Amino acid sequence: FAKKLQPHLLHFTSIMETSDGTGIPHSWNSHSISGMGIQATPNNTFFNPNCENLIDQRDLFESALSSIVSSPVNSNSGIIPIPIPGSGDSIVLRELIGRLGSICNSSDISPINGNNSATNSCYNTPLNSPPKLNLSITDHHQIPGNYPIPGNHPLPFHTDPGFAERAAKFSTFCNKKESFKTAGSQFMRIPEENKKLGDSNSNEEQPSVSETGMKGQNSNGRKRKVIPKGKGKEIQSNSTVKDDKVVAEAEKEESDAKRSKSTEPPKDYIHVRARRGQATDSHSLAERVRREKISERMKFLQDLVPGCNKVTGKAVMLDEIINYVQSLQRQVEFLSMKLATVNPRMDATMEALLSKDMFRPLVSVPNNVNPFDASVQPLPYGFQSQINGMVPDGPENQFSMNPLMAAMHRNSIMKPPHIDGFGEVI
Amino acid sequence: MSSSPQTTSTNSAYLTNQFAHRFVRALNNLNHTKTSSHGHNQISRRTSRVKIAAYTAMASVVGSRRAWSRAVLWKIRKRSRIRSLLLRMNRKRVDHKIFNCHHHSKVMSLKRRNPNPKRQYYFNPFRNSSQESKLRKLVPGAQTMDSWCLMGETADYIKCLAAQGNNRKEVQ
């Protein structure tokens, strides 16, 4: 899903950006990120219950996107009527939103109507569900109060310390894109989208919504790769995951869209964290973990298989691996056949080999610094005689002791033993 | 998580040495237990023996740590057991009927518990690639594994095979 979504999102964003004016795309992006609900709905309160209900996610996003598509200019007003987007866009939208909804939605999904306005309307209906998150409600309630305040300003309605912290962080995030240190790779993309968030948005909601979006992201929280810790914890403590998920999902999808072309953020963490822009239900998480474990192993295999550095992609890599394993097995067969044809000298060869090879490990193991050429040196005399007199398949206890003695002997002497003796064996 | 999968096997140098050691030993064993060689079959027979020796050595170096080595060793031992049993039966020239009964009973007696019990073959519902199934056939003992374990086993198997190949070349 994520993969399908990304191209669509990207497409969508491209549509948006191409169709809109200069400042618009950013505002759109910010809109979409900051809070579909608010933009989508004429009601600020709309957003609050929206956040709480998973069902609303899709609608939120959809309506937000639809609104963005059609009337990006309304960002300044803060309230964006929900126009019907262009047909092509709507198709993309709907598909996108449908996918988003299916991804994000763990509860029942209200069917998306063909009409975005209709969706907005039905989007309204679930909003009346009792809010799950008190914090978000309070936040959002505060938002309308500060409605006309232009962006790039500290959110003055931080009655909630947590919210204040988040808002501050987010504002800094918005304003200085790269300064958002906690974002890491994930949020860095958001700044690109939210470039003008502070600028274009006179809507106080947006930063706050984005805030809540980020909050939502963080609250997904147990699974966030990079989280402003205080923010995440507070969110977690206060809110359910779901209400923020709405915004979070939207944001994530945006970031995913942006990220679809770029590499995925590296996952260095042992514990599972939902990446930004990804679905966060347990199933997809587990699958993602599984996929990444497998890809990690693939990378290791890539190192093993010679000449596979440039190969990317699991399928091609698997082909290479299969070929390599087959070639190795054929090589074993071929070499064994070769060895079999050399039969007549086998016994003597075996002895020599055995001695040589047994000598080598003992040399290498005790003195790891020993060069291997030294190991090829003939054995100490005593060992040699033993070999000569020894039946090949005889007691190998004896045999094993001798190399030890030989090694010890060698270690003590540290002098190349007689070469001629060894030649005799051969 | 470490960058590389479970580094249970020893480093390659030690591995190759151990392998060489055991390989030669196994070869010796095979050579000295061989019966009379039959003409044109000789080379192929010896080839198979050498090959078996190689795989045995490789697997025994790794021991029971990896599933593929267990599978290899088990297969070889089973094969040798049955082969010895058949040889014995042939030598005794038991009556045909009795041969079958005895054979069966002896086979049952010789049957040992498979270290990799073949549970139901791994059914991957997402098997969109036949490559994995190919890989499973190639790597011994990987029929019942999930993808992640399969990758790990493949990695280890490749490592050992490569080391073995190098070693064989040196031995040559």
ipTM of the complex as predicted: 0.76
**What does each of the 172 residues of chain B score in pLDDT, given as a tens digit?**
333 334 444 456 666 676 667 767 666 766 665 554 555 677 777 777 777 777 777 777 777 777 788 888 888 888 888 888 888 888 775 556 565 666 666 666 666 666 555 555 656 555 556 777 777 777 777 777 777 788 888 888 888 888 878 877 776 6
Q: Is B24 exposed, middle or buried (0-12, 13-18, 19+ CB in 10 A)?
A: buried
Compare CB distances from B161 to A301, A328, A360 and report the shortest one's residue.
A328
Chain segment A280-324, per-residue pLDDT in tens: 788 888 888 888 888 888 888 888 888 777 777 778 888 888 888
What count of other Cβ atoms lies within 10 Å of the Cβ of residue B34? 12
What is the DSSP code string of A153-203? Answer: S--TT--SHHHHHHHHHHHHHHHSGGG-GGGHHHHHHHHHHTTTHHHH---
Instruction: Using an 8 Å CB-CB cutoff, list chain B residues near A293.
Output: 148
- Specify the 3-state DSSP secondary structure of A260: coil
Test the A interface: residue of B2, B4, B51 with most A CBs within 10 Å: B51
Instruction: Using an 8 Å CB-CB cutoff, list chain B residues near A365.
Output: 14, 17
The candidate with the shortest Cα–Cα distance to A408, out of A382, A390, A371, is: A382
What is the DSSP code string of A2-51? Answer: HHHHHHHHHHHHHHHHHHS-SHHHHHHHHHHHHHHHHHHSS-HHHHHHHH
B 40-99 residues with CB < 8 A to A: 42-43, 46-51, 53-55
- pLDDT at position A291 is 85
- pLDDT at position A219 is 42
Sign of CA dihedral A170, A171, A174, A177: negative
Amino acid at A315: A
Task: End-to-end CA distance of chain A: give it in Å, rounded.
Answer: 66
Query: Whole-structure pTM over 0.90, yes or no?
Result: no
In chain B, whose CA is at the least distance from the CA of A333?
B51
Instruction: Using an 8 Å CB-CB cutoff, list chain B residues near A345.
Output: none
d(CA A298, CA B116): 24
In degrees, rounded to 5, the angle at the alpha carbon of residue A271 between the alpha carbons of residues A267 and A276 is 50
- pLDDT at position B152 is 83
d(CA A368, CA A358): 15
What count of other Cβ atoms lies within 10 Å of the Cβ of residue A87? 8
Compare CB distances from A332 to B18, B31, B165 and report the shortest one's residue.
B165
Compare CB distances from A393 to B28, B138, B159 and report the shortest one's residue.
B28
- pLDDT at position B155 is 85
> How far off is chain B from A327, nearest CA to CA, in Å?
10
The candidate with the shortest Cα–Cα distance to A366, out of A417, A422, A409, is: A409
Instruction: Using an 8 Å CB-CB cutoff, list chain B residues near A336.
Output: 47-48, 50-51, 53-54, 168
- Residue written as tokens 């964290």? A273
Paired tokens of A188 = 């860095």
- pLDDT at position B158 is 85
Question: Do the Cβ atoms of A321 and B158 come within 8 Å?
Answer: yes
Following CA atoms A385, A391, A393, A394 in sequence, which dihedral angle do they give, to the nearest 10 degrees?
A: -80
Q: Which residues of chain A have pLDDT under 50?
A: 5, 9-10, 12-56, 61, 64-65, 68-69, 71-88, 93, 101, 104-159, 163-164, 167-168, 170-267, 362-426
Instruction: Using an 8 Å CB-CB cutoff, list chain B residues near A341.
Output: 43, 46
Chain segment A103-138, per-residue pLDDT in tens: 544 444 444 444 444 444 444 444 444 444 444 444
In chain A, whose CA is at the least distance from the CA of B134?
A322
Question: Do the Cβ atoms of B131 and A319 come within 8 Å?
Answer: yes
Beta-carbon pairs below 8 A across chains A and B: 142
Question: Do the Cβ atoms of B51 and A336 come within 8 Å?
Answer: yes
- pLDDT at position A203 is 44
> How far off is chain B from A303, nearest CA to CA, in Å?
10
Question: Do the Cβ atoms of A353 and B171 come within 8 Å?
Answer: yes
- Residue written as tokens 């300064």? A179
In chain A, whose CA is at the least distance from the CA of B58?
A332
Cβ contacts of residue B148 below 8 Å, gap of 6+? A290, A293, A294, A297
B 128-167 residues with CB < 8 A to A: 129, 131-132, 134-135, 138-139, 147-148, 151-152, 154-155, 157-159, 161-162, 164-165
- pLDDT at position B91 is 76
